[in-house]
């Protein structure tokens, strides 16, 4: 799967922001038809998005559209218009406020029909369910496995906090009065565990204080440390920090490749077929090699090369 370290949110109603997005070095751009677009602007935004996806000038970013959730009257028309109009350019549909597996299956069925009538390869367009409420989190395993199209599990912190009545207005910061830990830990770990259990990417949502790049760095570094694959960015200033934070550090990447190389040699016949070996002062075994593989895979996917070899 292609990396999704940085996922840029762009309102579908704003052609200038879409034009700018095409030039930014993010791993994914999602064009929004949901909460960043006013109800009266949804129809025009669909047309903007179709036009923008068909225009040249995109980089290697994954191109995704966030449709409205199934409780609205807009979802089916969102899907039909963007897939009919620009399906061959579309990598995935981001489905917000998912509550259960049925909503993912409904989108899968609709996508299949539109792909067929449009002469597109059936099943190529992925689904990114967004977890934004208690019910969705409770049903996360069923959601994750509802369709082979599911590629990622995405956290929606603002809607999530509202849905559980968490007493804060600042996304990414702890609710005042809760001073015994991280109020988001359970939610983040539930998403991460489901992603790992089902072979999907885990993506953290937005940090809304766009002028506070240090705050963004702190929030991103926390979920990167847990094991998340990427995070939303809302502003060009957040992009470089995000790519850096969700890529391995160079020294870690070099070390991981060295561990893999050393372990592969010593476990081979030529190297003596040993299970545990010393690398400097550290003993490495099969489990160390697995940890190293995670870091090496992320680095390779991000295009990193060794500086120690
Ligand atoms: C994003 O959609 C959020 O609700 O945080
Ligand atoms: Mg939301």
Residue 167 DSSP code: S
What SS3 class is residue 91? coil
Q: Which residues have any ligand 1 atom within 6 Å of their CB?
A: 132, 156-159, 205-206
Whole-number Å distance between alpha carbons of 282 and 55: 53
CB burial class (10 A; 0-12, 13-18, 19+) of residue 240? middle
CA-nearest residue, atom 1 of ligand 1? 156
Rounded-to-integer distance, Cα 205 and Cα 9, Å: 10
43 pLDDT band (50/70/90 cuts)?
very high
Closest CA to 150 of 159, 158, 140: 140
Question: Any binding-site annotation on 66?
Answer: yes
Residue 127 has pLDDT above 80, yes or no: yes
pLDDT averaged over the chain? 95
Q: How many CB atoms lie within 10 A of CB 265?
A: 13
Token pair of 234 as six digits: 């809302």
How many other C-beta atoms lie within 10 A of the C-beta of residue 123? 13
What is the Cα–Cα distance from 211 to 235, expressed in whole angstroms? 9
Token readout for 112 is 């299949």
What's the CATH superfamily of 6-245?
Answer: Phosphoenolpyruvate-binding domains (3.20.20.60)
63 Cα to the center of ligand 1, angstroms: 19
| pLDDT tops 90 at residue 151 | yes
Domain coordinates of the chain in residue numbers? 6-245, 250-301
Question: How far apart are the CA of 154 and the centre of ligand 2, in A?
Answer: 10
Cα angle 252-256-261, degrees, rounded to a multiple of 5: 150
Cβ(201)–Cβ(223) under 8 Å?
no
The confidence score (pLDDT) of residue 156 equals: 98
309 has pLDDT over 80: no
What single string gives the DSSP state of each residue in 58-69?
--S-EEEEEPPP
Distance in Å, CA 159 to ligand 1 centroid: 5
Closest CA to 33 of 5, 1, 91, 73: 73
Q: Give the whole-number percent of the chain exceeding pLDDT 90.
A: 90
Residue 168 is predicted with a pLDDT of 86
Contact yes or no for 295/227 (Cβ under 8 A): no
pLDDT at 274 over 90: no
The pLDDT tens digits for 184-218 are 999 999 999 999 999 999 999 999 999 999 999 99
């Amino acid at each position: 799967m292609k990396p999704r370290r940085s996922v840029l949110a762009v309102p579908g109603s704003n052609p200038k922001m879409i034009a700018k997005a095409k030039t930014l070095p993010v791993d994914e751009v999602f064009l929004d038809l949901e909460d960043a677009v006013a109800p009266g602007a949804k129809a025009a935004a669909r047309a903007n998005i179709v036009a923008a996806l068909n225009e040249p000038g995109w980089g290697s970013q994954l191109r995704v559209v966030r449709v409205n959730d199934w409780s609205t009257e807009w979802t089916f028309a969102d899907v039909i218009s963007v897939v009919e109009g620009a399906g061959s350019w579309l990598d995935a549909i981001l489905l917000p406020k998912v509550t259960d597996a049925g909503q993912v299956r409904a989108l899968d069925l609709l996508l299949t029909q539109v792909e067929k009538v449009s002469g597109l390869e059936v099943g190529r367009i992925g689904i990114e369910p967004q977890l934004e409420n208690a019910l969705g989190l409770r049903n996360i395993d069923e959601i994750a496995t509802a369709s082979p199209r599911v590629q990622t599990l995405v956290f929606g912190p603002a809607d999530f906090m509202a849905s559980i009545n968490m007493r804060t207005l600042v996304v990414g910061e702890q609710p005042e009065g809760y001073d015994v830990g991280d109020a988001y830990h359970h939610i983040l770990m539930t998403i991460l565990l489901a992603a790992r259990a089902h072979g999907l990417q885990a993506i953290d949502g937005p940090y809304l204080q766009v002028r506070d790049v240090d705050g963004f760095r702190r929030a991103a570094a926390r979920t990167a440390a847990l094991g998340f694959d990427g995070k939303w960015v809302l502003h060009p200033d957040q992009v470089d920090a995000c790519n850096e934070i969700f890529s391995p550090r160079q020294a870690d990447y070099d070390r991981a490749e060295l561990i893999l190389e050393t372990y592969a040699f010593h476990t081979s016949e030529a190297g003596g077929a040993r299970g545990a070996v010393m690398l400097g002062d550290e003993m490495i075994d099969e489990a160390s090699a697995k940890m190293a593989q995670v870091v090496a895979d992320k680095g390779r996917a991000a295009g990193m090369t060794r500086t120690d070899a």
